[in-house]
Amino acid sequence: MEVFCRSTAERQASAKLAVGRRIVVVTAGGENPNIIINALASRFDEIVVLQEQPESKTLFVRRRARKLGWGAALGQLATMIASRFGKRLTRRRAAEILRSYGVSAETNPLVPVHRIASINDAEGRARLTALQPAVVFLVSCRMLKPETLAAIPCPVLNFHAGINPQYRGLMGGYWALLSNDRENFGATVHLVDEGVDTGGILYQSRQVPSRADTMHTYPLLQTAASTAIAIRSVEDAFAGNLRPVDVAAPSRQWYHPPVWTWVWNGWRRGIW
């Protein structure tokens, strides 16, 4: 994990900059986004959440089938279902991760939540505009359509559970391990553009998963260990000091592994 050390004076200056500045977090909800929301709420005064309705599995499968074929799409859906049930078996490890990093995945009752169908429809865009954010922070939500992104007059940041540009898309930690690239198991906060995790990289953090971690806990570990870079990126946005860095590495977008790939590599290599 990368640690950012800051003086008391720097923290106080950042706190003053945050006063009167509104952060709008766009998310579909869940424990991992709650970790980021709670971390931001512990440092900044004005946090509002726009929570989208989760996308239907039917739409997911159809879109993925158009891109990758029906076999891959149905195999990925099976993995998603297995992951949902598998999380019930990893509660002890999940609690250990939360405790180790001193974070909470509980819903914060002090943070206002506005429920919307989609950030990309007229109602979602109108609600976002009415909130007059100084920063928009995305975590586990739909991709912004070009017209939505163009309508936002402030910095738009995204938390991605993967190291960009090598592991854009989904399950970045899993694919890093499967690629024998353990040093690139981690997370990225980046600016948002019209591509899939292709915006300018602001900060990254890296972790070492334990043998007890699986696909069910990789994203939790990446998120819990990365609250510092989420906070730091928002501080930079408030200060007008966003400085993307160039990373000279191959860029690739990844998806959920089909269930047969997941089972085979779990059995053969112990990477679940």
pLDDT in tens, 167-184: 999 999 999 999 999 999
| 2: in domain | no
| 1: in domain | no
Q: What is the CATH number of the domain that holds 59?
A: 3.40.50.12230
| 3: in domain | no
Q: Judge whether 171 and 214 are in contact, CB under 8 Å.
A: no
| 134: in domain | yes
Q: Write out the two tokens for 226.
A: 């990365």
> Predicted confidence band at 16 (pLDDT cuts at 50, 70, 90)?
very low
| 160: in domain | yes
Per the structure, the complete domain to which residue 146 belongs is given by 8-269
Q: Judge whether 35 and 159 are in contact, CB under 8 Å.
A: no
Separation of alpha carbons 73 and 62, rounded Å: 8
Model confidence at 9: pLDDT above 70: no
Nearest to 235 by CA among 33, 4, 63, 28: 4
Please report, for residues 11, 64, 65, 235, the alpha-carbon distance to residue 134 in angstroms, rounded to integers and kept in the order given.
Answer: 19, 34, 38, 11
Give how many domains the chain has, as a whole number.
1
| 129: in domain | yes
Element (H, E) at 202: strand 201-206
pLDDT tens readout for residues 103-143: 999 999 999 999 999 999 999 999 999 999 999 999 999 99
| 43: in domain | yes
Model confidence at 17: pLDDT above 70: no
Model pTM greater than 0.85? yes
| pLDDT number for residue 147 | 96
| pLDDT number for residue 20 | 52
Is the link from the previous residue into 165 a cis peptide, with omega within 30 of 0? yes
Model confidence at 4: pLDDT above 50: no
pLDDT tens readout for residues 66-114: 989 999 999 999 998 888 777 778 999 999 999 999 999 999 999 999 9
The number of CA neighbours under 13 Å toward the Cβ of 37 is 28
| pLDDT number for residue 51 | 98
| pLDDT number for residue 6 | 38
| 114: in domain | yes
